[in-house]
Amino acid sequence: MKFALFGNTYQAKKSAHIIRLLSILKKYNAEIFISREFYRFLVDEQNMDIQTAGVFERNDFEADMVLSIGGDGTFLKAASQVGRKNIPILGINTGRLGFLADVSPEEMEDTFEDIYHHNYKVEDRSVLQVQSNGQPLKGYPFGLNEIAVLKRDSSSMITIHTSINGAYLTTYQADGLVIATPTGSTAYSLSIGGPVIVPHSSTIAITPVAPHSLNVRPIVINDDWEITLDVESRSHNFLVAIDGRSETCKEGTRLTIRKADYKIKVVKRPNHIFFHTLRNKMMWGVDGRG
């Protein structure tokens, strides 16, 4: 098998996991290609002797499977490079929580044994796309987790006129608005009071950030509906954050958000159950009263 490897370049003390991963793959005579940024980190900063079939730039690669070693942020970065390639991604978690990257370093050996015996699942995850006034944004306009519209600085809240399929929904006065996929429902959206959504529910959650009015609540809509946002700001600009990557937009920019025309494929262990992950990662439903 041919693997493309992305990794976290901020976790120096976790590099032992990389050595072990590479040694496991070597046992299977795998072809390993490493993103240049990660390769430079391992060789130049960690002084590691890395045997690899090649190094690639950004999204200039082909593989049977993409490996992301780090946390969910590393996984999201890998997903943005995979894009429409239709290559499944396996996330190995050396970070903290890990919903997307949910294979622990201790599980690597068993996981690759399963992979080489074709004993794994591939889940399709929906992606959101944003356009501004009909034109793409400067940065990568696709988000696996969420697209957030946020006030740019410590100024007063922004005003977001929101329509669904051309029908007026409401005007949010808030610090921002988070539009999340089911995959992203356990990320930023959850931290501001959004609902937990089962991954394959074909929905989108819209959740305000610190709304001025207490009677606006998160709302869940069909994922084949189109969301239109017209934003007003006293500072005359605002931020659009896509899976943590942000850029500034000018007041008066109209944003259109819809489901992208491709999906991201996520590799899961055969015994993976979403509710099990909820309980174990988030202590969901645990009674802490003792």
Q: Which residues are catalytic?
A: 72
Q: What is the DSSP letter of 43?
A: I
What amino acid is encoded at 213 in this protein? Answer: S
Residue closest to 183 by CA, chosen among 242, 127, 113, 252 = 127
Instruction: Judge contact between 256 and 227, C-beta under 8 A.
Output: yes
Residue with tokens 């370093």: 105
The residues, any chain, with a CB within 8 Å of residue 238's CB and separated by 6 or more, are: 149, 150, 151, 152, 158, 231, 248, 249, 251
Residue closest to 258 by CA, chosen among 135, 147, 157, 171 = 147
Residue with tokens 């996984």: 75
In whole angstroms, give the CA distance from residue 109 to residue 122.
Answer: 19
